[in-house]
Structure 1
Amino acid sequence: MTAIGNATARPGEATTTAFKSRFLARMVIVLIGGMFLDGYVLGILGPVSGRMAEDLQLTAVSQGLIAAAALVGILFGAPLGGWAADKWGRKSIFMFDIGLFAVASGMQFFIDSPVWLIVVRLLMGLAIGAEYAVGWPLMGEFAPTHLRGRLLGAMQIAWYGGFMIAFLIGHLLSEYTEAGWHFILGTSTFVAVALFLARLGLPESPRWLWSVGRKDEARILAYKYMADDALDDVQHEDVRTGSFGMLFSKQHWRSTLFISGFFFCAVTPYFAIATFADSVLNQYGLAGGLAGGVGLSAVALAGVVLMFFLIDKVGRRVLTVPPQWVCGIVLALIGLWAGAPAIVVLILFLLFSFFNAMYTALTGVYPSEVLPTEIRGIGTGFAVAFSRIGAGIGIFLMPVSMETLGAGPTMLIAATVAFAGAGLCQWLAPETTGKTLTEAAAGYSH
């Protein structure tokens, strides 16, 4: 017998289909939990921002920095976590990031200054960034080909669900209980601790083991945990050391440009509009509060759910390119139609949330498919970091733009970003449906 971590099996000895199904279900739950936390820590901020600003006597700049701190953390945590995951494996980073998040999140119960709140949410962002860089690759590397799109998409369902649930919980606790903003922000700690415990004992990725030359260990884990036909594809992996520079090589620059630019243009307008849903809707004479914030998030969640059911049937490109053109047109209409009735503006915002969420979900699918294993972590991390530059800019500048330029010009800027993403994906978005990871990466890199 050969023991690898908690996995014990002879090379060539496959476990039952039921065992593998239970393992895959467990892996899916703990991975989508990480995405749930990312949405949660951003969504929970909106409902308590007013009380927190009053208690801490925050300036507009301080509010923007607190809102953007987690995104700045992701900016650095994603590429660092991806680099570490490609160098030392998925499993160690997988456990470290959720542990760091739990500790940092717990500190929110005790913070009483703006500076420390910024620092703590920065640490939480570092952990989430690493989670992105290891979670998506790990899901892609374990998922069966025929389920890969849906399982990667399910992680985005969790993100939108986390954002919506956090907004709801935050609003209810803030309005109907005596819970302070410290406790409301700190509720993410309970989820993080549960995920840490659930991850104990999970195995290393066989694809990563094979890519670094640890082939015997890879075979054992592939037979024990992966679909029966997965070992053949794992054995097509190249044994090669990845590097950051490979992302910009002649072979991989298109992949890097595509996943990074697509991600940037997808999340920049959404983060800005969703985070400040109350103030944006109020500018157009619409009621904000619970109905506004949760409404936009609920419609976005519906868009991701529709993508989940369609992605492995209609393909990636049809869910990526056309919805971006729709969002650009919708935002342009909001920006140009200054005297539009409130109900029309609300419908347009809901359409934007729905279609934006549909294609944004693909930002979590493509990196695992178009990048080879040796740079899958660092490439995913780089794309996530680049996207958070846009998200941070959107969140930080949205209040300033709404106040100085007005709602119309602000929406036109958002429309320009959406059109840029549509054009990029019209050019570069590949169709990877039905291909193994090896086939998808090889087909796009040459």
Structure 2
Amino acid sequence: MTTGSAAPSPGASSPRSQSAVLTRAERLDRLPFTRKHGRMLGASGIGWALDAMDVGLISFVIAALSVHWQITKADASWIASAGFAGMAIGATLGGLLADRIGRRNVFSLTLLVYGLATGASALAGGVAVLIALRFVVGLGLGAELPVASTLMSEFAPARIRGRVIVWLEAFWALGWILAAVIGTFVAAEGENGWRWALAIGMVPAAYSLVVRLGMPESVRFLETKGRHREAEQIVRGFEESAGIDAPARTDAAETPDATLSPAGPTSAPSDRSIAATDPATGTAASATAVEPRDSIWSPGLRARTAGLWTVWFCINLSYYGAFIWIPTLLVDRGFDLTKSFTFTLIITLAQIPGYAVAAWLIEVIGRRWTLTLFLAGSAVAAGAYGMADSEPMIIAAGCALSFFNLGAWGALYAIGPELYPTAVRGTGTGAAAGFGRIASLIAPFLVPVLVASGTQVLAFAVFAGAFGIAAAAAFTLPEQQGRALEE
């Protein structure tokens, strides 16, 4: 991740001529990756990692409670599913709110909600209270992820947008690794270790203030609300970070229907004539005409919405079905808590190279092929894990599953926001995530039934099948590599 030290001049950095009109979105797309982008990625990524830490911690808490409280598999399923029920609602509502009150506002609010609720969970005196609090935690968690990816997508330069979103998603691995460390060295220590583990989960509440004060609002969102002066100030800040001079005339910043060019303000081009930039040649490439849309199920969007929802549902079913239960399934096999958590930590470490490879491939072979290949690899790895019957095989297959599955998540978060125009981008990504969370709600109940019916072989065979369906659906999505986001 590098910053642009020797930034090109405005004329050289854009494929358009010196006198051509540039919208604010195009001015952002022409920039190199600057320190300002890096700070924004870091701020979003820390929130993302804290989210992952909270989701990961519950798998260790459930395993600890099965030992210290002797909770049943049904109780464990309710604890896990309550959080996912909240995530399903939170993702949908968060996306809708992000299109109405702003991406940054919703992002900071969700951090506050789930941070406080996680801290309160540490004081739970019974299963019922823990279930209720996990639902509230889920509301915040579910809303944060699609909103954060949407906000970052709207600032990342078009030629590396997919890679930047995979970098953002890679923070998930850091959070899950942190959860594994806390689970291994805190949750496993004594009867109240799980309480201290959840108490650490209050960190996001404090971090929400940092996000609220330090992150810019989406320029595209501000423009849809007529807040052009704010939008212009933010764009100029990014241009200054890149060492690129702003256009000489600035009065367009206060004109709702005007855009800026080096020559001064002029009327904005129609949404129907927006051109994409070919990342290889730097020349304008034709893009699909963008018609005004009010719904993600309108004729021009319904096919991509259906495909995206299918991927989200299947990947959630398999990911949460596997990773929430892996520590407990290892305990059921006869491993003690410490060894079970240690195995899980090793498996989790394989997420990092998975993200790294996905980040490289996504700008080489495109979003659709990267997502499809990683989902297919996840299917093979899930089948192998189900048949693993020795410690080396468990670790090897688990690492492969972690590698491919989390690489697929990175590509999925990259492709989602690119499928929708600005007016429904938050709604589209949030609704897909919300639908997917229905599967994560089902998964904790499904695993005990499948394991009881045919051991873990059957459970992971089902996960492998779901990954296969997701791979097929991913291949139906349009390729958006190098294209400007639709307005």
Q: TM-score, normalised by structure 2?
A: 0.77
2-side partners of 1:107 and 1:282: how far apart? 27
Determine which of 158, 171, 174 is the counterpart of 1:158. Answer: 171
- Asked if structure 2 preserves the Cα contact closer than 8 Å seen for 1:30 and 1:199, the reply is no
Alignment partner, residue 465 of structure 2: 416
Task: Report the CA distance shift for 1:113/1:83 in structure 2 as closer, same or farther (over 3 A).
Answer: same
Alignment partner, residue 304 of structure 1: 355
Letter in 2 for 1:147: I
How large is the Cα RMSD of the aligned pairs?
3.3
Listed as ranges, the gaps of 5+ residues in structure 1 are 1-10, 442-446
Offset at residue 169 of structure 1 (A) = 1.3
Determine which of 22, 36, 52 is the counterpart of 2:49. Answer: 36
Asked if 1:146 is matched to 2:159, the reply is yes
Task: Report the CA distance shift for 1:351/1:181 in structure 2 as closer, same or farther (over 3 A).
Answer: closer
Q: Give the structure with the larger helix fraction.
A: 1
Q: State the Cα deviation string for residues 302-323 of structure 1 (Å, max 9, x = none).
A: 2112212332233223311123
Pairs aligned (count): 421
2-side partners of 1:177 and 1:196: how far apart? 33
Task: Report the CA distance shift for 1:223/1:115 in structure 2 as closer, same or farther (over 3 A).
Answer: same
SS at match of 1:312: coil
- Asked if structure 1 preserves the Cα contact closer than 8 Å seen for 2:304 and 2:477, the reply is no
Offset at residue 187 of structure 1 (A) = 0.6
Moved more, 208-217 or 31-40: 208-217
Alignment partner, residue 342 of structure 2: 291
Asked if 1:84 is matched to 2:135, the reply is no
Letter in 1 for 2:38: A
2-side partners of 1:202 and 1:240: how far apart? 31
Letter in 1 for 2:193: G
Alignment partner, residue 253 of structure 2: none
- Asked if structure 2 preserves the Cα contact closer than 8 Å seen for 1:284 and 1:342, the reply is no
Alignment partner, residue 49 of structure 1: 62
2-side partners of 1:435 and 1:274: how far apart? 34
2-side partners of 1:330 and 1:285: how far apart? 23
Offset at residue 362 of structure 1 (A) = 1.1
Q: State the Cα deviation string for residues 368-399 of structure 1 (Å, max 9, x = none).
A: 11111111111111111111112222223212
Asked if 1:436 is matched to 2:484, the reply is yes
Q: State the Cα deviation string for residues 165-207 of structure 1 (Å, max 9, x = none).
A: 1111121013457863222112111244134334314332110
Task: Report the CA distance shift for 1:405/1:218 in structure 2 as closer, same or farther (over 3 A).
Answer: same
- Asked if structure 1 preserves the Cα contact closer than 8 Å seen for 2:117 and 2:137, the reply is yes
Letter in 2 for 1:291: T
Asked if 1:347 is matched to 2:396, the reply is yes
- Asked if structure 2 preserves the Cα contact closer than 8 Å seen for 1:108 and 1:183, the reply is no
2-side partners of 1:175 and 1:215: how far apart? 53
- Within a 5 Å distance, the mapping from 1:169-180 to structure 2 comes to 169-176=182-189, 180=193
Moved more, 302-311 or 53-62: 53-62
Determine which of 435, 451, 456 is the counterpart of 1:386. Answer: 435
Query: Identity, % of aligned pairs?
Result: 27
- Within a 5 Å distance, the mapping from 1:37-436 to structure 2 comes to 37-53=50-66, 55-56=68-69, 58-176=71-189, 180-225=193-238, 243=294, 246-281=295-330, 289-333=340-384, 343-344=392-393, 346-426=395-475, 428-436=476-484
- Asked if structure 2 preserves the Cα contact closer than 8 Å seen for 1:156 and 1:361, the reply is yes
2-side partners of 1:232 and 1:76: how far apart? 40
Q: State the Cα deviation string for residues 341-371 of structure 1 (Å, max 9, x = none).
A: 6644543332222112211211111111111
Moved more, 130-139 or 192-201: 192-201
- Asked if structure 1 preserves the Cα contact closer than 8 Å seen for 2:102 and 2:218, the reply is yes
Listed as ranges, the gaps of 5+ residues in structure 2 are 1-22, 247-258, 262-267, 272-289
2-side partners of 1:329 and 1:381: how far apart? 29
Q: State the Cα deviation string for residues 56-101 of structure 1 (Å, max 9, x = none).
A: 5533222111112221111001111111111222232222222222
SS at match of 2:34: helix
2-side partners of 1:94 and 1:241: how far apart? 27
